[in-house]
Amino acid sequence: MEIVCDTSFLMVLCYDPVKNLDSLESRFGKLTWLIHPETVNELSQLERSAGIKRSKIAGLSLTIIKKQIENGNFKFLDENHLKGTLKRNESNLTVDSVLLNLAIEKKNPMATIDKELMRRALKKGVDVITLKNNKIIYAHSRPRSNLNQSKASP
């Protein structure tokens, strides 16, 4: 399963050990984290201009992303992958909006820890992967109906 990642999620994923990632893989198959060029730009900017801790985490994230792309666990979305998608500079969108539109177009879940972006994604019908206490949480965009539930007769 391919997952669109935002910057904040990648920083946590690369910095803190995440529990129960295996359970997500056993449920959905091999996970491939999609890395948008705008996300790399944000990490590079954070590495240069953020405080000491965030700057180091951003640098570590960039290093891990590069290694994981080589290993096939992460996938950098180049121009060939992004044909037909809205670009930030063309349409005056925020990075979050670009990532959300990408998730909608590709019909992939989105990984974020940003509460507002989570709310927007779920509202648009995009499943969300987030973290709580370093555990992966998978939130479905639509509530599932319980087919086994029987109605009581009057």
**Domain ranges across the chain:** 2-139
- For the stretch 126-149, pLDDT in tens is 999 998 888 888 888 775 544 444
Q: Residue 71: pLDDT above 60?
A: yes
Which is more confident, 21 or 109? 109
- For the stretch 22-58, pLDDT in tens is 888 888 889 899 999 989 999 999 999 989 999 999 9
pLDDT confidence of 91, banded at 50, 70, 90? Answer: low
Average pLDDT, the chain: 83
Counting every residue written for the chain, the total comes to: 154
Q: Decide: 43 and 136 in contact? Cβ < 8 Å.
A: no
Q: Which of 76-90, 91-105, 109-123 tops mean pLDDT? A: 109-123
* In CATH, 2-139 is 3.40.50.1010: yes
Q: What pLDDT score does 78 carry?
A: 78
Q: What pLDDT score does 61 carry?
A: 93
CA distance 31 to 108: 11
List CB contacts of 42: < 8 A, sequence separation 6 or more: 7, 95
Q: What pLDDT score does 83 carry?
A: 60
CA distance 51 to 135: 26
Percent pLDDT > 70 in the chain is 83
